[in-house]
Structures are given as C-alpha cells and as structure tokens.
Amino acid sequence: MSTSTLRVPTSFRLPAELLEELKECAKATNRSLNNYVESILMDFMSKNKTMKENVITPDLQAKLDKAREEHKNGETLCFDTAQDAIAWMEAL
C-alpha cells in the first residue's frame, strides 16, 4: 500500500533572475524545479518551526530576569571547578 501527499497546483510570480537561478540549482542537483523549490520551502518551514519552539516565553523571561537580578545582587553560587560544584551538590 502506498501513501502519497496531496499536492495542489499553485503559481507564484518571481523575479526572472530568481527563477533562472532556481532552475540552474535544480538542474545542478538533477532535480525538477518543482521538487527543488518544494524541498527548499519544506526545509525553511522546518527550521522556522524549530525557531518558534525556541522562543522565550513570558514565563521563561521572568525566570531569566530573576536570575539576572540574583546575579546582580550577588545571590548566586560560583565554583572554580566542576569538581567544586559536584562537591557542593553532594553536601546538600
């Protein structure tokens, strides 16, 4: 059983220079123009989704602000080595 993705015909107006560059890149990678543009768009959308997932939420911003304020007021811990940090945690 095969699965296929529904593809809808679409048209875009592009600058002639951009279209020619896309055609050249598609040909250089032995792909159709449609496949090449589709893969570029899918890659962009995937990266855009990742960027949206990495947005600083108001809750995270509040935590960052609190941490900065604590650091500014000297209310933070500072260790010279990782071993010092581990020893401190083990002593808790």
Q: Is residue 1 part of a domain?
A: no
pLDDT for residue 92? 84
Q: Report which of 68, 3, 1, 14 is spatially closest to residue 40, judged by C-alpha positions.
A: 14
Same domain, 50 and 18: yes
- Find the angle CA(40)-CA(42)-CA(47) to the nearest 5 degrees: 95
Name the band, by pLDDT with cuts 50, 70 and 90, for residue 1. low
Q: Is residue 5 part of a domain?
A: no
Same domain, 51 and 26: yes
Q: pTM of the prediction?
A: 0.53
pLDDT for residue 31? 96
Average pLDDT over residues 53-74: 88
Name the band, by pLDDT with cuts 50, 70 and 90, for residue 75. confident
Q: Would you give the distance in Å from CA 65 to the centre of its chain?
A: 23
Same domain, 19 and 50: yes
The count of structural domains within the chain is: 2
Range of the domain at 84: 56-91
Same domain, 31 and 48: yes
